[in-house]
């Protein structure tokens, strides 16, 4: 599809492969997700939410005990 010079026309962009998307694999991404710094930032954002339950219905007061019990499997 050639859209050069066509203002507002949709462009065709093929899906990027893993190498093009960032060069990592799924395990690298998961390691970044559960990295201590990322988890700490996420916890602070949840706490800033004033303990309002998320989509899972868990309140902030239940989060820390849950994480302590299940961290090894996360």
What are the tens digits of pLDDT across the range 36-64?
899 889 888 888 877 677 788 888 888 88
8, HSE (Cβ side, Cα atoms, 13 Å): 0
11, HSE (Cβ side, Cα atoms, 13 Å): 9
Please report the pLDDT score of residue 69 as a whole number. 95
Please report the pLDDT score of residue 36 as a whole number. 87
57 Cα distance to chain centroid: 19
Please report the pLDDT score of residue 72 as a whole number. 86
d(CA 2, CA 11): 8
| pTM, two decimal places | 0.48
User: Dihedrals φ, ψ of 56, to 5°?
Assistant: -85, -5
Tell me if 68 sits within 8 A of 61, measured CB to CB. no
């Amino acid at each position: 599809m050639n859209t050069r010079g066509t203002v507002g026309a949709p462009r065709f962009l093929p899906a990027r492969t893993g190498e093009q998307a960032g060069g990592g694999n799924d395990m690298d991404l998961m390691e970044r997700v559960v990295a201590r710094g990322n988890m700490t930032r996420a916890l602070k954002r949840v706490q800033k939410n004033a303990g309002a339950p998320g989509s899972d219905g868990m309140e902030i007061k239940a989060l820390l005990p849950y994480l302590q019990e299940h961290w090894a499997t996360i």
